[in-house]
């Protein structure tokens, strides 16, 4: 299998053979794709395309153009858009020029998201609108704020086949601007790296599962098996929920940091960042309140220890003996040890040196966002995102 390309999936004796043989998974056989299934609206075409790329977009006029340019540029004679793969933009009832921008690109299909019914999130509904009509052997769900490196579409399919997984997700390189983004984002992503280590996520024997909806590639039969986005219709973190289903149903999951494939700027403003992480943090970290307390302890240690040491040295605590001066040095050494451990943890975020160095400035904001997210999900039972309100977890 490792030496085979995406052409592994093929028709045999009038039937479809799944690319990864997922019909033989433990939970039972898959529905025969030549019949109308619960995921796809139409019977399987005689010839499937290699890939369907689906980009849900709601008020994304400031970033959609760059995303589509990076995707359309991957069309060439061996991997031609419209012949070998398709690109679908789903306009999720945008109020700006999102649809107009999408229609400027030749060979890009533009759809309107279906009516948002109760019990659905906007993103899941938009993706579901296109996924049911997808003609690709592989389906890639990617956000409108991403920019793709040349060749990443084809390489990702080969990577999934090589590792024999039905779902492959990349964590993109994050572009940040402004003090608060540069300081806060490393804090969030180092905690994500510690909570969802890619090696454990990719290990079928480990229960931990994660995916990043900014780049989520899934094999057609695996998508059918997990029930598509209908199975996670009401989930705010639909990407993580899909990954959990993929693991439970033995579809195979691979997850990694992929600065070689895709990059993104998640938030265009500080307020959007605050709203976004308020929506997500309590779902990403089940112990969000406890995590807030630990990060508050970081603030106390990083700020309090050197202040206490200097107070001892200056004799302002009415202790002037050499013994207490020595205590001041001990406190400073403890502070240095904590500082080293803090930066060793933040370095796991895959952000640059300057961003990591700035991160202590955002510790109070991180604590507030963790509490705010916990409060909205657990107490108020609702969160907001892009003008819509959803039930909290």
| Rounded alpha-carbon distances, angstroms, from residue 318 to 321, 331, 333, 382 | 9, 17, 22, 52
User: Given a cut of 90, is residue 42 above it in pLDDT?
Assistant: no
**Same-domain pairing of 229 and 375:** no
Domain that holds residue 233: 6-172+212-268
**Same-domain pairing of 88 and 225:** yes
CATH code where residue 248 lies: 3.90.550.10
| Residue 61: inside a domain | yes
**Same-domain pairing of 216 and 155:** yes
**Same-domain pairing of 318 and 230:** no
Q: How far apart are CA 115 and CA 196, in angstroms?
A: 34
Q: What is the pLDDT of residue 310?
A: 82
Q: What is the pLDDT of residue 288?
A: 96
Q: Centre a 10 Å sphere on the Cβ of residue 389 and count the other Cβ atoms it contains.
A: 9
| Helix pair angle (288-314, 363-374), 10° resolution | 150
**Same-domain pairing of 100 and 142:** yes
Spatial CA neighbour of 97 closest among 63, 72, 66, 122: 63
Q: What is the pLDDT of residue 393?
A: 66
Sorted by sequence, the CB contacts under 8 Å of residue 122 that are 6+ apart come out as 58, 92, 93, 113, 116, 385, 386, 388
**Same-domain pairing of 241 and 340:** no
Q: What is the pLDDT of residue 316?
A: 57
**Same-domain pairing of 148 and 101:** yes
| Residue 229: inside a domain | yes
| Residue 204: inside a domain | no
Q: Structurally, how many domains does the chain consist of?
A: 2
**Same-domain pairing of 83 and 152:** yes
**Same-domain pairing of 261 and 299:** no
pLDDT tens for each residue of 117-154: 999 999 999 999 999 999 999 999 999 999 999 999 99
Sign of torsion over alpha carbons 63, 228, 210, 287 = positive
- Alpha carbon 6 to chain centroid, angstroms: 24
| Residue 353: inside a domain | yes
pLDDT tens for each residue of 15-29: 334 444 443 433 433
* Averaged pLDDT, 188-199: 97
**Same-domain pairing of 234 and 167:** yes
* Averaged pLDDT, 21-41: 44
pLDDT tens for each residue of 242-299: 999 999 999 999 999 999 999 999 999 999 999 999 999 999 998 899 999 999 999 9
| Residue 303: inside a domain | yes
Q: What is the pLDDT of residue 22?
A: 43
């Amino acid at each position: 299998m490792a030496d085979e390309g995406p052409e592994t999936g093929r028709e045999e004796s009038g039937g479809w053979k799944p690319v990864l043989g997922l019909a033989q998974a433990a939970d039972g056989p898959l529905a025969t794709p030549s019949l109308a299934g619960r995921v796809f609206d139409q019977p399987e075409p005689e010839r499937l395309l290699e890939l369907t790329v689906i980009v849900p977009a709601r008020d994304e006029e400031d970033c959609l153009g760059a995303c589509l340019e990076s995707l359309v540029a991957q069309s060439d004679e061996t991997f031609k858009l419209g012949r070998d793969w398709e690109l679908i933009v789903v306009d999720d009832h945008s109020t700006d020029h999102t649809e107009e921008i999408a229609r400027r690109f030749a060979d890009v299909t533009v759809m309107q998201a279906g009516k948002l019914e109760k019990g659905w999130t906007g993103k899941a509904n938009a993706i579901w609108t296109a996924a049911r009509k997808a003609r690709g052997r592989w389906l890639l769900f990617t956000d409108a704020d991403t920019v793709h490196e040349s060749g990443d579409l084809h390489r990702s399919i080969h990577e999934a086949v090589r590792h024999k997984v039905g779902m492959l997700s990349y964590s993109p390189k994050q572009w940040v601007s402004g003090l608060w983004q540069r300081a806060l984002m490393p804090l969030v992503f180092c905690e994500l790296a510690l909570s969802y280590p890619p090696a454990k996520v990719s290990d079928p024997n480990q229960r931990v599962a994660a995916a990043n909806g900014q780049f989520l590639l899934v094999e057609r039969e695996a998508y059918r098996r997990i029930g598509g986005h209908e199975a996670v219709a009401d989930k705010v973190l639909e990407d993580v929920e899909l990954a959990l289903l993929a693991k439970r149903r033995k579809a195979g999951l691979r997850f990694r940091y992929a600065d070689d494939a895709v990059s993104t700027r998640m938030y265009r403003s500080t307020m959007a960042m605050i709203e976004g992480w308020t929506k997500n943090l309590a779902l990403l970290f089940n112990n969000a309140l406890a995590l807030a307390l630990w990060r508050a302890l970081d603030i106390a240690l990083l700020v309090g220890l050197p202040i206490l040491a200097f107070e001892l040295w200056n004799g302002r605590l009415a202790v002037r003996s050499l013994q207490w001066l020595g205590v001041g040095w001990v406190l400073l050494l403890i502070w240095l040890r904590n500082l080293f451990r803090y930066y060793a943890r933040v370095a796991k975020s895959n952000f640059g040196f300057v961003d990591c160095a700035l991160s202590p400035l955002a510790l109070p904001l991180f604590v507030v966002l963790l509490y705010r997210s916990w409060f909205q999900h657990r107490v108020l039972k609702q969160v907001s995102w892009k003008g819509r309100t959803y039930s909290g977890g």
